[in-house]
Amino acid sequence: MTISLPMATPDIQFQVTLNPAPLSDSERQAVLDNPVFGTVFTDHMVDICWSEKGGWHRPRVQPYGPIPLDPAASVLHYGQEIFEGMKGYRHEDGSIWTFRPDQNALRLQRSAKRMALPELPVEYFLQALKELIAVDGAWVPSAPETSLYIRPFMFAKEAFLGVRPANKVAFYVIASPVGPYFGDTVSPVSIWLSTHYSRAGKGGTGAAKAGGNYAASLVAQTEAAENGCKQVLFLDSEEGRFLEELGGMNVVLVHKDGTLVTPHSETILQGITRDSVLQLAEDAGHTVERRPITIDEWREGSASGDIVEAFACGTAATVVPIGQLKAPDFTIGSADAPPGEVTMSLRSQLIDIQYGRAADPHGWMQRLDQ
Ligand SMILES: *Cc1c(COP(=O)(O)O)cnc(C)c1O
């Protein structure tokens, strides 16, 4: 069945094809009652085509399912791909919201620029989210700290093995319900310090949210797991001294005097969660420093008692206390350290805004279901 829904922006008409066999209410509820990150997807997906000649065209909502792709599609050979990660939150009154989607839209444009992909207009991005929620709103769970993880992505689909930016590109949005990152209690994680691998280099793609950066991080992530750690911390590739970030999260250290420090670097991803949490910290009177930080500074600061907390942050996990950092020849902190006070306070302030339990002084939340 194909229907057309009236749109807020009249020049973006999404063609909607409803899934003829969506999950039943009870099947969907069973998924929502026990969501496992990134395993089950909603009944529909959004896609918009781009071609050099036609620009962005044929925006549609269609049943979730496999993407037809020519084996010569350049993404499969040269990895021209970028993505975003965001969440839909159900508020107490049933309404559905997302957090700073304009920032994700703008970041997707920056990533596109770096990867020689076309920039999707912000209005198309925002409308795509609303279109998906219009058909799949029932997939946004309502239990505490559950959400609908939303994954917009863009890739080169031109069937051509020559090396140049593709002249055909696709943008998609898919979504998957997720449960709380932590169970009943938030417990600090152990992080592995990668001293052998880098995720990004000067002039490279570290600041773009590109699949290739993740591909480059996986072997280090495996090394982390072998050392009993959940995540990897990467250092700069030139000197191997300066903190960069984790494979998919930014890092922040907290000093005894309440000052928060976080790496400033051209080769890391500018996280929206980090930006927001640091804004909340500034609102509460904390000093925030964005500057190069060496691993020795963390090591010595922790030993002297000057650096008292560390946390990682990103959309999927929000704010995660770091209990210990393990390196091949030293360890900072301890695995059973309790979560830090500043970390936990910022975490709950952020989550309360996202779930509509606290005021939203910066106008970060945007409603998706209307
Ligand atoms: C997505 C991502 C983050 C976190 O960004 P948020 O906007 O906070 O979700 C951090 N680092 C990398 C490498 C990422 O891909």
Residue 248: CB within 6 Å of ligand 1?
yes
How many C-beta neighbours within 10 Å does residue 270 have? 13
Residues 97/150, Cβ–Cβ less than 8 Å:
no
Considering only CA atoms, which of 266, 265, 222, 268 is closest in space to residue 248? 268
Topology given in CATH for the domain delimited by 189-354: D-amino Acid Aminotransferase; Chain A, domain 2 (3.20.10)
Write out the two tokens for 353: 């805004």
Atom 1 (ligand 1): residue with closest C-alpha?
A: 248
Q: Do domains 2-179 and 189-354 have the same CATH topology?
A: no
Q: Please choose from 87, 269, 311 the residue to mutate so as to test ligand 1's pocket, defined by most ligand atoms within 8 A of CB.
A: 269
Partners of 189 in beta bridges: 322
Topology given in CATH for the domain delimited by 2-179: D-amino Acid Aminotransferase; Chain A, domain 1 (3.30.470)
Entry pTM: 0.95
Say how far residue 363 (Cα) sits from the centre of its chain.
20
DSSP 8-state secondary structure symbol assigned to residue 293: -
pLDDT in tens, the chain (370 residues): 555 554 444 468 999 999 999 999 999 999 999 999 999 999 999 999 999 999 999 999 999 999 999 999 999 999 999 999 999 999 999 999 999 999 999 999 999 999 999 999 999 999 999 999 999 999 999 999 999 999 999 999 999 999 999 999 999 999 999 998 887 788 999 999 999 999 999 999 999 999 999 999 999 999 999 999 999 999 999 999 999 999 999 999 999 999 999 999 999 999 999 999 999 999 999 999 999 999 999 999 999 999 999 999 999 999 999 999 999 999 999 988 899 999 999 999 999 999 999 999 999 999 999 8
User: Tokens 């072998």 belong to which residue?
Assistant: 226
Q: Please choose from 114, 209, 313 the residue to mutate so as to test ligand 1's pocket, defined by most ligand atoms within 8 A of CB.
A: 209
Residues 293/242, Cβ–Cβ less than 8 Å:
yes
| Domain residue spans of the chain | 2-179, 189-354
Long-range contacts of 31-37 (CB under 8 A, 24+ apart): 31/177, 32/139, 32/141, 32/142, 32/143, 32/146, 32/177, 33/143, 34/179, 35/141, 35/146, 35/176, 35/177, 35/178, 35/179, 36/179, 37/149, 37/176, 37/178, 37/179, 37/316
> In ligand 1, which atom is closest to the CA atom of 276?
8
SS3 state of residue 22: coil
